[in-house]
């Protein structure tokens, strides 16, 4: 039997404070949920919302996206970052059409077998789109459980078996409540039990939180490093890809040279974009989206 002492306060809090997000609405399709999960990886909700809306308007079903060239998915991805996610989503759409008659599967194993879908995404889609009982562990959920049950400020860098077992022990027995619990804990981590400056007085689990009871001891593990951006290959790739994305057809090398001065870095990143399938060389000195 799962530990149910935390369920009621979290579910009641969620019923009152949940955000109105398009992929959470009753009418949202499983495809909308899958698209949102890929887009939300390492990207804030506010940036995802307009791109998700435009994506679903253009490609309301997996078949609609699968029928388009991969380059159109990269173009529509815009500035969400980590554009290989667009390729994975396109590949997932193709697989859904080929293996599941165009319908996003509801079984965890079938979801996990889709390109670009890992444990978290498979569990999240099965839970949020189909109301199935799964252990859904993203960064927000892991942080809430680490604090409330584990008594530490942050979870380990990588998911451990002990973490998964602890989370599994908290999942309600019935599917519907388990699915709501999964999204409710995630929302609590996103809005209240945040990584920096958590709003403990507003938390429905404040009185039950082991970390708060211990005086909120600081993280004593390896330092948590932020991701650099300026001058990195990621920034260079983003600049180059923006030129390709905004062009109508092939782009001459000179247009790419104009947005990044470091020649070795620019050539390395351009080659990487081609290798990753995000760009294609169309001539001796021209490039385009695939």
Q: What are the structural domains of the chain?
A: 233-288 (1.10.10)
Task: List the beta bridge partners of residue 252.
Answer: 286
Q: 24, 114, 26: which is closest to 65 by C-alpha?
A: 114
Per-residue pLDDT tens over the stretch 72-124: 999 999 989 899 999 999 999 999 999 999 999 999 999 999 999 999 999 99
pLDDT at 1: 38
Of the candidates 131, 227, 128, the one whose C-alpha atom is nearest the C-alpha of residue 187 is: 128
DSSP labels, 237-289: HHHHHHHHHHSSS-EEHHHHHTT---HHHHHHHHHHHHHTTS-EEEETTEEE-
Q: How confident is the model at residue 135 (pLDDT cuts 50, 70, 90)?
A: very high
Report the share of the chain in percent with pLDDT over 70: 97
**Quick one: pLDDT at residue 4?**
73
228-275 confidence digits (pLDDT tens): 778 899 999 999 999 999 998 999 999 999 999 999 999 999 999 999
CA dihedral 140, 141, 144, 148 (to 10 degrees): -170
Model pTM score = 0.89
Amino acid 226: pLDDT = 62
User: Which residues have a Cβ under 8 Å from the Cβ of 167 and sit 6 or more positions away?
Assistant: 135, 137, 141, 142, 145
Give pLDDT, residue 215: 95
| Proportion of the chain above pLDDT 90, given as a percent | 91
> Catalytic site residues?
37
Q: Are 4 and 14 in contact (CB under 8 A)?
A: no
Neighbours of 285 (CB within 10 A): 12
Question: pLDDT tens, 153-208?
Answer: 999 989 999 999 999 999 999 999 999 999 999 999 999 999 999 999 999 999 99
Residue 142 in tokens: 């892991």
For residue 86, which of 158, 35, 12, 153 has the smallest C-alpha distance?
35
């Amino acid at each position: 039997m799962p530990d149910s002492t935390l369920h009621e306060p979290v579910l009641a809090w969620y019923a009152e404070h949940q955000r109105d997000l398009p992929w959470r609405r009753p009418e949202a399709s499983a495809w909308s949920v899958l698209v949102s999960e890929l887009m939300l990886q390492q990207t804030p909700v506010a940036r995802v919302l307009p791109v998700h809306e435009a994506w679903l308007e253009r490609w309301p079903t997996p078949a609609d996206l699968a029928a388009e060239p991969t380059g159109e998915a990269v173009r529509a991805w815009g500035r969400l970052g980590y554009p290989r996610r667009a390729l994975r989503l396109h590949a997932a759409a193709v697989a859904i059409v080929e293996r599941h008659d165009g319908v996003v599967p509801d079984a965890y194993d079938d979801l996990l077998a889709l390109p670009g879908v890992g444990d978290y995404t498979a569990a999240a889609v099965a839970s949020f789109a189909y109301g199935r009982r799964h252990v859904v562990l993203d960064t927000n959920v892991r942080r809430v459980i680490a604090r409330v049950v584990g008594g530490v400020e942050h979870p380990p860098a990588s998911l451990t078996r002990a973490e998964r077992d602890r989370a599994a022990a908290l999942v309600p027995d019935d599917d519907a409540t388990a699915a709501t619990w999964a999204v409710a804990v995630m929302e609590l981590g996103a809005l209240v039990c945040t990584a920096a400056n958590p709003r403990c007085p507003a938390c429905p689990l404040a009185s039950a939180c082991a970390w708060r009871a211990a005086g909120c001891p600081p993280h004593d593990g390896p330092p948590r490093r932020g991701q650099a951006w300026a001058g990195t290959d990621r920034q260079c790739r983003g600049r180059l890809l923006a030129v390709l994305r905004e062009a109508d057809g092939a782009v001459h090398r000179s247009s790419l040279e104009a947005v990044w001065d470091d020649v070795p870095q620019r050539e390395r990143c351009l080659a990487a974009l081609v290798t990753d399938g995000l760009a294609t060389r169309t001539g001796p000195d021209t490039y385009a989206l695939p």
